[in-house]
Amino acid sequence: DTGVSQDPRHKITKRGQNVTFRCDPISEHNRLYWYRQTLGQGPEFLTYFQNEAQLEKSRLLSDRFSAERPKGSFSTLEIQRTEQGDSAMYLCASSPRGPNYEQYFGPGTRLTVT
């Protein structure tokens, strides 16, 4: 399967713990996006990478959130000191460079903070 993959698919953690999610984009896609989706809502943009550079961050991305894409390939999203409000589906998407390409989404990581 050459689609976007995310790991883990599900994560249950206790409030206050740190969690890290991984996204592997489609090979040679140099743009990578993170979104968050809560129940009953559409996905919300969190941040965007072009190669290894993080070019845009939403104000939703508080200081407890950090994302990296160290070699311009896979990306990680870390949440420190998790809160119950962080419970959501975290979606990753990738696209080729260019003005008008669609984004390909992974299956998401569902986070539950207890």
CB count, 10 Å around CB of 113? 19
Angle (CA) 48 13 76, round 5°: 25
Sketch the per residue contact string, 49 through 68, with other proteins: x for CB under 8 A, - otherwise: ------xx------------
Task: DSSP letter for 94, please.
Answer: E
Within residues 62-101, the interface with other proteins by CB under 8 A covers: 91, 93, 95, 99-100
**Among 17, 18, 38, 41, which residue interacts with other proteins (rule: CB under 8 A)?**
41
Q: 82 vs 95, which CB is nearer to other proteins?
A: 95
46, two tokens: 């969190």
Euclidean distance between CA atoms 31 and 35, whole angstroms? 13
User: Residue 4 phi/psi, 5° resolution?
Assistant: -75, 130
Task: DSSP letter for 84, please.
Answer: G
Q: Does 35 bind other proteins (CB under 8 A)?
A: yes
Q: Does 43 bind other proteins (CB under 8 A)?
A: yes
Q: Does 107 bind other proteins (CB under 8 A)?
A: yes
Shortest distance, position 43 Cβ to other proteins, whole Å: 5
